[in-house]
């Protein structure tokens, strides 16, 4: 129960420190269908993996791919990278997949990169998730272009106990209202394919300082929940929750193929200009470099 409460308390305050920044850049609604690829990276192979991962977005830009994706790498837990692809529907996902498979040139380029990347990956896992607006909060207040870190909390439920998760979410929301944090944005998804009876909660953060804010206010959340609410949450957890995963991720801009509006909002992060090294100065006493010959 303590671990569950810590996870929920973290949701309550992880973003409290950056609500003002979010209000300045309204976010688009979360995608209805979220396709997530998870690459489990072999130990100590993150650097060569990242170099190959950065080769994918230029190919996507070259062919003007319609589907964008956000790349993130785990800060906690085992080494892994996740890629979030957004779609309006299963049909849209099908069209995108078939378009890729139908373009021999593009398919060949991605296949070559997959082969290079495979030597640094132990396993690849793909899942499809469905957005649950009824279990989410203030998604329009998220400042996604400036969110360089994400917290992902996944509740794994016992089969047939989804109602318990709904009630846990309601208890969490009610406690947030009592402490004046009902504007904190977070999106909840439900596992459809590859991960059933699971609910990931996605929390964007502009800075890890927001986590410090959460630690400083855990007691406030517990007080707002109250003894009765805590007992009810404990019972719901015992009945329906098998485990809770709570991990931090850092965005990898070089491996992301994101919406151009995000680039405009934070160009220094998403599209940094290459560093130009100054020409080396001649050694003391060395003759000056020859001037280029005049054009004929």
pLDDT in tens, 100-154: 888 888 889 999 999 999 999 999 999 999 999 999 988 988 999 999 999 999 9
- What CATH class is the domain 2-266? alpha beta
**Separation CA 134–CA 120 (nearest Å):** 39
- pLDDT over 90 (residue 76): yes
Which pLDDT score is estimated for 6? 39
User: For 182-203, what is the mean pLDDT?
Assistant: 91
Q: Tens digits of per-residue pLDDT, 215-266?
A: 766 777 788 888 888 899 999 999 999 999 999 999 999 999 999 999 999 9
Which pLDDT score is estimated for 222? 82
- pLDDT over 70 (residue 290): no
User: For 40-55, what is the mean pLDDT?
Assistant: 97
Name the pTM for this structure.
Answer: 0.83
User: Could you write out the three-class secondary structure of the chain?
Assistant: CHHHHHHHHHHHHCCHHHHHHHHCCCCCCCCCEEEEEEEEECCCCHHHHHHHHCCHHHHHHHCCCCCCEEEEEECCCCCEEEEEEEECCHHHHHHHHHHHHHCHHHHHHHHHHHHHHHCCEEEEEEEEEEECHHHCECHHHCCHHHCCEEEEEEEEECCCCHHHHHHHHHHHHHHHHHCCCCCCCEEEEEEEECCCCEEEEEEEECCCHHHHHHHHCHHHHHHHHHHHHHHHHHHHHHHHEEEEEEEEEEECHHHCECCHHHHHHCHHHHCCCCCCCCCCCCCCCCCCCCCCCCCC
Which pLDDT score is estimated for 50? 98
**Separation CA 45–CA 286 (nearest Å):** 44
């Amino acid at each position: 129960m303590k671990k569950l409460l810590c996870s929920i308390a973290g949701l309550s305050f992880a973003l409290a420190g950056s609500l003002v920044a979010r209000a300045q850049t309204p976010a688009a609604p979360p995608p209805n269908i979220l396709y997530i690829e998870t690459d489990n990276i072999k130990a100590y192979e993150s650097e060569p993996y990242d170099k190959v991962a950065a080769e994918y977005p230029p190919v996507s830009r070259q062919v003007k791919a319609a589907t964008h994706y956000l790349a993130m790498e785990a800060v906690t837990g085992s080494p892994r990278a996740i890629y979030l692809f957004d779609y309006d529907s299963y049909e849209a996902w099908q069209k995108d997949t078939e378009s890729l498979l139908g373009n021999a040139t593009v398919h060949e380029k991605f296949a070559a990169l997959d082969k290079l990347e495979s030597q640094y990956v132990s396993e690849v896992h793909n899942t499809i998730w469905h957005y649950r607006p009824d279990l989410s909060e203030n998604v329009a207040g998220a400042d996604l272009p400036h969110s360089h870190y994400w917290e992902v909390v996944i509740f794994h439920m016992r089969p047939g106990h989804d109602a318990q998760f709904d009630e846990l979410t309601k208890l969490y929301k009610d406690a947030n209202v009592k402490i004046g944090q009902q504007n904190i944005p977070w999106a909840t998804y439900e596992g459809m394919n590859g991960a059933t009876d699971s609910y990931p909660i996605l929390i964007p953060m502009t800075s890890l300082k927001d986590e410090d804010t959460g630690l400083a206010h855990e007691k406030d959340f517990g007080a707002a929940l109250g003894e009765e609410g805590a007992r009810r949450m404990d019972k719901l957890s015992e009945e329906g929750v098998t485990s809770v995963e709570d991990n931090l991720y850092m965005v990898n801009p070089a491996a992301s193929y994101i919406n151009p509006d995000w680039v405009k909002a934070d160009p220094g992060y998403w599209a940094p200009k290459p560093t130009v090294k100054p020409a080396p100065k001649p050694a003391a006493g060395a003759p000056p470099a020859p001037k280029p010959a005049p054009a004929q």
